[in-house]
């Protein structure tokens, strides 16, 4: 019970809060420290996210297959569609499509209804060796359903204009529909003639036939994927088309420039944070979070290492290109306007014309600059290509168990936990102290109240004399 100032006319609640203010300030300072550590952790996480993105691009640029990309061009997209496989090479072809593969399609005579019983003879017909039982109550619809429900005939049955249609599920001569009649059922349906030839053949089965650089190629399918190395063809119609397959240098250039842009993003963020000046005096929460990692040794080392790896030459290359500047990727230079953050951060500039020229004139040289790898651990970074050395270093930074950023995150978490425990302990002591002070001041108020009551009683006794 708190009877603040009831007898003493003193605001004891305010006095208690003032007595506790020092402890509260200490707790608040701990929470401020915790928020600062959390903000530092957030900065490290932002940098780590960018580094992970850079690592993904570096991993790609250390592989030969990332450079071994091709594009195809041809003069008529309506005749053939092309897709390239992993083992494609630069080449040019002339293709003539003489015939398309077709799905064998046959049918019955037209009937007056698809639902009425056909009064056929009872018996069994065979479609591609599969038995279909027929009775005199079957209609076109029921025969269709019996065929489709078997799922093993290799044909699909349908009804079009009261005619039973049978279409082979696969194209080519090898997939011609084979029928065995029993009791003249198929003859009565009008699918077969009396001599067991097809009466209503709507589409004869045929193989695709193309001339590929003078060589005739046949296929049961219009999709030709295994005959021509590196290319899959989807035949669309008859005609001729000229095809060229070339390295996709634009694709490779884009990969390299994406890597450069992400590298710039990483070093720019690190440099901006380690050079951000602290604010004095601190007037707002925003001020408190400015310059938190100014001069941070860990981040500065990361930036410097990235600079060294990206600008360093690659040893023992027989090609002309030994460092990035040889292919048009150079370090930012001094800016006369005064803003030299790009220079000091170690950012890169790309000369598109020189990069494209390098790819066109010496593609293997550009590729080797990135992918050179002896496959031996412990060599100097200069013994590895740019993509390989960057991947190796970024893997060390981002290793989940022992990487630099993992260790920093662990350190931040431990510090945050310690601050939280200190704050919780102080809050418990503060609560105990507040309770004790409240009891003391309440006791004082009760004592004053009792004293006042006694004084009033004495005064009343005196007045009665």
Q: What is the pLDDT of residues 92-102, one digit of tens each?
A: 989 999 999 99
Nearest in space to 369 (alpha carbons), one of 306, 316, 332, 331:
316
Average pLDDT, the chain: 87
- pLDDT score recorded for residue 33: 80
Helix H segments across 61-189? Answer: 64-67, 140-150, 185-189
Q: What is the pLDDT of residue 431?
A: 73
Question: Residue 17 — very low, low, confident or very high, per pLDDT cuts 50/70/90?
Answer: low
Q: What is the pLDDT of residue 10?
A: 63
Per-residue pLDDT at 337: 59
Tell which residue, 377, 331, 337, 100, has the closest CA to residue 218: 100
Nearest CA to 169 out of 233, 97, 221 is that of 221
Q: Are 152 and 141 in contact (CB under 8 A)?
A: no
Q: For residues 170 and 385, what is the distance between their CA atoms, to the nearest angstrom? A: 50
Name the burial class of residue 421, with classes exposed (0-12), middle (13-18) and buried (19+) by CB atoms within 10 angstroms of its CB: exposed
Check pLDDT > 60 for residue 295.
yes
* Residues 6+ away with beta carbon under 8 Å from 102: 171, 203, 204, 205, 206
For residue 111, the model assigns a pLDDT of 95
Cα–Cα dist 144/129, whole Å: 17
Q: Please compute the mean of the pLDDT values over residues 346-367 and round it to a whole number.
A: 94
Closest-CA residue to 321 (of 375, 372, 349, 362)? 362
CA distances from 84 to 89, 226, 433 (A): 9, 12, 78
Of 125-129, 336-340, 441-445, which gets the smallest average pLDDT? 336-340
pLDDT value for 55: 96
- Asked if residue 197 has pLDDT above 60, the reply is yes
* Per-residue confidence band for 4, with pLDDT thresholds at 50, 70 and 90: low
Mean pLDDT in residue range 294-308: 93
Tens-place pLDDT, residues 132-181: 999 999 999 999 999 999 989 999 999 999 999 999 999 999 999 999 99
Q: In this predicted structure, what is the pLDDT of residue 162? A: 96
pLDDT tens per residue, range 203-248: 999 999 999 999 999 999 999 987 788 889 999 999 999 999 999 9
430: confidence class by pLDDT, cuts 50, 70, 90 = low
Q: Is the pLDDT of residue 354 over 70?
A: yes
DSSP 201-267: EEE--B-EEEEETTEEEEESSSEE-SSSTTEEEEE-SSEEEEEEEEE-HHHHHHHHHHHHHHHHHHH
pLDDT at 3 over 60: no
Q: Which among 39-48, 250-259, 320-329 has the top mean pLDDT?
A: 250-259
pLDDT at 343: 75
pTM, 2 dp: 0.73
> What pLDDT sits at residue 11?
63
Instruction: Write out the H or E segment, with its range, that includes residue 82.
Output: strand 80-84
């Amino acid at each position: 019970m708190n009877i603040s100032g009831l007898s003493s006319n003193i605001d004891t609640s305010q006095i208690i809060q003032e007595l506790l203010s020092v402890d509260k300030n200490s707790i608040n300072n701990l929470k401020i420290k915790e928020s600062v550590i959390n903000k530092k952790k957030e900065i490290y996480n932002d940098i780590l996210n960018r580094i992970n993105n850079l690592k993904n691009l570096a991993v790609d640029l250390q592989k030969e297959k990332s450079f071994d990309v091709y594009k195809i061009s041809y003069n008529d997209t309506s005749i053939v569609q092309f897709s390239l496989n992993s083992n494609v090479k630069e080449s040019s072809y002339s293709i003539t499509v003489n015939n398309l593969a077709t799905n064998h399609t046959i049918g019955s005579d037209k009937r007056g209804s698809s639902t009425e019983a056909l009064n056929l003879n009872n018996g069994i017909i065979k479609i591609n060796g599969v038995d279909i039982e027929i009775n005199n109550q079957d209609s076109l619809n029921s025969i269709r359903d019996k065929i489709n429900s078997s799922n093993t005939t290799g044909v699909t049955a349908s009804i079009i204009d009261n005619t039973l249609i049978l279409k082979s599920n696969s194209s080519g001569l090898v997939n011609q529909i084979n029928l065995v009649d029993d009791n003249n059922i198929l003859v009565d349906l009008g699918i077969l003639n009396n001599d067991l030839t097809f009466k209503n053949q709507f589409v004869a089965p045929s193989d695709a036939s193309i001339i590929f650089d003078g060589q005739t190629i046949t296929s049961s399918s219009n999709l030709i994927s295994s005959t021509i190395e590196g290319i899959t063809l989807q035949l669309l119609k008859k005609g001729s088309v000229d095809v060229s397959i070339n390295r996709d240098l634009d694709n490779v250039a884009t990969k390299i420039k994406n890597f450069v842009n992400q590298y710039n993003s990483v070093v720019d963020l690190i440099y901006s944070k380690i050079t951000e000046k602290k604010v004095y005096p601190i007037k707002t929460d925003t001020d408190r979070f400015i310059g938190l990692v100014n001069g941070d040794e860990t981040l500065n080392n990361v930036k410097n290492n990235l600079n060294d790896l990206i600008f360093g030459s690659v040893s023992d290359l027989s090609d002309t290109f030994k460092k990035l500047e040889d292919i048009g990727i150079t370090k930012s230079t001094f800016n006369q306007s005064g803003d030299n953050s790009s220079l000091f951060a170690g950012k890169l500039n790309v000369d598109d014309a020189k990069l494209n020229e390098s790819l066109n004139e010496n593609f293997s040289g550009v590729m080797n600059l990135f992918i050179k790898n002896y496959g031996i651990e412990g060599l100097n970074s200069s013994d590895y290509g740019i993509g390989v050395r960057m991947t190796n270093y970024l893997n060390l930074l981002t290793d989940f168990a022992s990487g630099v950023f993992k260790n920093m995150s662990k350190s931040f978490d431990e510090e945050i936990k310690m601050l939280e425990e200190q704050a919780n302990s102080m809050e418990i002591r503060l609560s105990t102290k507040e309770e004790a002070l409240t009891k003391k001041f309440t006791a004082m108020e009760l004592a004053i109240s009792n004293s006042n009551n006694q004084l009033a009683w004495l005064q009343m006794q005196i007045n009665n004399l």
